[in-house]
Amino acid sequence: MTTMNPAVEKVLNNLEGKTMKLLIGSKWVEAQSGRSFETRNPATGELLCRVAEGDAADVDAAVAAARQTFEGPWRNFKPNQRQNLLLKLADLVEANYDELCVLDTLDMGVPMRRTLGNRHRVVSTIRYYASQAMSIHGETIENSLDGEFFTCALKEPVGVVGAIIPWNSPLYQTLKKIAVCVAAGCTMVLKPAEEAPLTPLRLAELCLEAGFPPGVLNVVPGFGSTAGARLAAHPDVDKVAFTGSHFTGQKIIQASAGNVKRLSVELGGKSPNIIFADADLEKAVPGAAMAVFNNAGQICCAGTRMYVERSIYDEFVARVAEFGKRMRVGNGLDPETEMGPLVSANQLERVTGYLKRGQEEGATAASGGSRLTDGEYAKGFFVAPTVFTNVTDNMTIAREEIFGPVISAIVFDEIDDVVKRANDTIFGLGSGIWTTDVSKAHKIARRIRAGTVWVNAYNVLDPAVPFGGYKMSGYGREGGIHHVDEFLQTKALILNTD
Ligand code: ADP
């Protein structure tokens, strides 16, 4: 295999034999229990390094550090100072971008082809939040009180934030959470996913290099049921920002009740992607394929329910299946690789379970349908890009989130019917419409119950545009002013000026 980047060897050498530590305040420390866990490359099974396993006691220490900083010097940081920290961080991320991509690929498998292509979006996301730091404002309000009163609504940081992130996009997920926290003036305890803690830890080093005061960012890698659960339940955490599965989201919502925390929860999806016969098929074929095969389907808004109008169903499904068959699946470090492995043995078991179930329930694999095991594939967690045809709405593969490279192709005949079926899901995160009739697209977009509707596009994200869910895909929005607002409190000031 050819490696595309000289950064790879350097990163591997840096990791070899190490046990990564937790960041609490300004110090890198071992877990109080002394325990650590392995992190491995999902493409090869090779051990990358060990990581200190934080648990409840470490979370408590991290929350105390975040609280002390929030109540202390951080309060006096002006918006322009917070902006400067983020601008500095953006420069450092830009300068170290290749290394960060290598870490993402080694730890969770994403092809570097994909992450390197996102350079501009990732860096400009931090710069976007830097601009937001200087745009926070409350409002003055005219009142009808007897006497003379000045009334206004102030915006203040919500406080100490617990950020619990998933493994599917460690670089982007971590940066978004750090950037919004700093923009809003909060402090943070970050719990990376146990499957992919390396990029968040490297980003924490860059934050310190950027001049973040001690305690603004604390990082406690560890397991969900211990470190994550403590953070979600912690009485001194003011808000939890969570991205992950809806099962875990429900647990976090329950855990947060103890001190009535603020919450934003960005959960799973089973997003419809509707292809009309009048679509530009040259664009719709790769668009529909990559709506799912991107990141091996490990994307919460993946367009996995592909509704195709009857007159083009056979042709369209055949073309998407052909696209899947031609994809270069392999180690994400290889510049030719278009789709990498799944993140873990657990995820492999889950996805292959759905592949089996789909076929048992009557779907036919027009492409893929199984694990890849030839040669080098045997060492990793590879699954072939799969297009299931003859899928009906009631099949398990059309109802449950798979989080793998699996498209369920479903036929439809007319608009009202497809809108109703697209909305017939517990989720409401992403959705897509492919048509050259803009008027039709606009009308349908208004009827889809999902946080995002893409028209003639999919998975296109911009830092200024809100992203989030309806229904069991969660609540709260990432991106845009809506995101910053999730990290702010509103305080009324009523001042008697008589
Ligand atoms: P997945 O099932 O795809 O791994 P999860 O939603 O379980 O996704 O994981 C997302 C994040 O939530 C990870 O950082 C994980 O450690 C964390 N997590 C898992 N269980 C809990 C829990 N009970 N409380 C808090 N965090 C958790």
pLDDT reading at 2 higher than 60: no
pLDDT confidence band for 405 (50 / 70 / 90): very high
- State which amino acid sits at residue 73: P
- 3 state DSSP class of 142: coil
Which of 146, 253, 233, 148 is CA-nearest to residue 191? 233
- The residues near 189 (Cβ < 8 Å, ≥ 6 apart) are 59, 62, 63, 66, 160, 161, 162, 163, 218, 219, 220, 231, 237
Domain boundaries, position 149: 6-267+473-492
> CA-to-CA distance for 304 and 272, rounded, in angstroms?
6
Which atom of ligand 1 has the smallest separation from the CA of 403? 3
**CATH code of the domain covering residue 400:** 3.40.309.10
Q: 194-226: string of b/e by CB count within 10 Å (b at 16+)? A: bbbbbbbbbbbebbeebebbbbbbbbbbbebeb
Q: How confident is the model at residue 209 (pLDDT cuts 50, 70, 90)?
A: very high
Q: How far is the CA of 228 from the centre of ligand 1 (A)?
A: 7
Sheet strands side by side (includes 149-157): 139-141, 149-157, 488-496
Evaluate whether 263 touches 252 at the Cβ level (below 8 Å). yes
Spacing, Cα 93 to ligand 1 middle (Å): 26
CB 317, CB 387: distance < 8 Å: yes
Using CA positions, which residue lies closest to atom 24 of ligand 1?
229
Report residue 5's pLDDT band, with 50, 70 and 90 as the boundaries: low
Residue 275 pLDDT grade (very low, low, confident, very high; cuts 50, 70, 90):
very high
Asked whether residue 1 is assigned to any structural domain, the reply reads: no
Tens-place pLDDT, residues 297-345: 999 999 999 999 999 999 999 999 999 999 999 999 999 999 999 999 9
Question: Half-sphere exposure (CA, 13 Å, Cβ side) for 93?
Answer: 31
Residue 76 in domain: yes
Q: Give 161's DSSP letter.
A: E
Kindly tell me the number of DSSP H helices and DSSP E strands found in the chain. 17, 23
Does residue 314 belong to any structural domain of this protein?
A: yes
Residues 147 and 279 in one domain: no
Domain count, the chain: 2
Which residue CA neighbors atom 3 of ligand 1 most closely? Answer: 245
Q: Ligand 1, from 51, 107, 164, 381: best to mutate by most atoms within 8 Å of Cβ?
A: 164
Compute the distance from residue 53 Cα to the ligand 1 centre, in Å.
15
Distance 223 CA to ligand 1 centre (A): 8
Q: Is residue 424 part of a domain?
A: yes
pLDDT at 148: 97
Are both 26 and 123 inside the same structural domain?
A: yes
The rounded distance, in Å, linking the Cα atoms of 212 and 22 is 16
On the question of pLDDT at 57 being above 60, the answer is yes
Q: How far is CA 111 from the centre of its chain?
A: 16
Residue 300 among the catalytic residues: yes
- Does residue 429 belong to any structural domain of this protein? yes
pLDDT of residue 7: 80
Token pair 């050498």 is found at: 13
Nearest to 461 by CA among 269, 329, 291, 337: 291
Residue 434: beta bridge partners? 275
Local structure of 239: helix, strand or coil? strand
Cα four-point dihedral sign 186, 187, 191, 197: positive
Per the annotation, the verdict on 99 as an active-site residue is no
3-state secondary structure of 259: helix
340-373, pLDDT tens digit by residue? 999 999 999 999 999 999 999 999 999 999 999 9
Residue 16 resides in a domain? yes
Q: Which two tokens stand for residue 291?
A: 């709506």
Give the CATH number for residue 203. Answer: 3.40.605.10
Same domain, 54 and 195: yes
Instruction: Provide residues with CB under 6 Å of ligand 1.
Output: 164-166, 191, 193-194, 223-225, 228-229, 232, 244-245, 248, 251-252
Which member of 195, 300, 338, 478 is catalytic?
A: 300
Angstrom CA distances, 126 to 11, 101, 122, stand at 24, 16, 7
CA atoms within 13 A on the CB side of 41: 23
Cα 193 to middle of ligand 1, angstroms: 7
83 with 185, same domain?
A: yes
> What is d(CA 429, CA 410) in angstroms, rounded to the nearest whole number?
19
Both 218 and 305 in one domain: the answer is no
Residue 299 lies in a domain: yes
Reply yes or no on whether the pLDDT at 136 is more than 60. yes
Residue of 99, 195, 266, 486 with catalytic role: 266
Q: What is the mean pLDDT of the chain?
A: 97
310 and 409 fall within a common domain:
yes
CA–CA separation, 195 and 223 (whole Å) = 9
**Which residues, 6 or more positions from 145, have their beta carbon under 8 angstroms from its beta carbon?**
151, 494
- Name the residue with tokens 């180690």: 331
Atom of ligand 1 nearest to the CA of 248: 6
pLDDT tops 70 at residue 3: no
Q: Output the residue whose Cα is nearest ligand 1's atom 20.
A: 224
* pLDDT at residue 1 is higher than 60: no
pLDDT digits (tens, 9 = 90+) for 218-248: 999 999 999 999 999 999 999 999 999 999 9
**Are residues 19 and 116 located together in one domain of the fold?**
yes
- 217's enclosing H/E stretch is strand 217-219
Could you tell me the distance, in angstroms and rounded to a whole number, from the CA of residue 170 to the centre of ligand 1?
13
Question: Which residue's CA is the closest to the ligand 1 atom numbered 1?
Answer: 245
Residue closest via CA to ligand 1's atom 2 equals: 245
Q: Same domain, yes or no, for 367 and 444?
A: yes
> 350 with 208, same domain?
no
Domain check: are 226 and 290 in the same one? no
Q: Apex CA 203: angle with CA 19 and CA 65, to 5°?
A: 80
Predicted confidence (pLDDT) at residue 4 exceeds the cutoff of 90: no
Give the integer Cα–Cα distance in Å for 123 and 404. Answer: 27
- Check if the beta carbon of residue 136 is closer than 8 Å to that of residue 157: no
Predicted local confidence at residue 6, as pLDDT: 77
Q: How confident is the model at residue 135 (pLDDT cuts 50, 70, 90)?
A: very high
* 360 shares a domain with 306: yes
| Domain contains 227 | yes
pLDDT in tens, 420-476: 999 999 999 999 999 999 999 999 999 999 999 999 999 999 999 999 999 999 999
Same domain, 44 and 89: yes
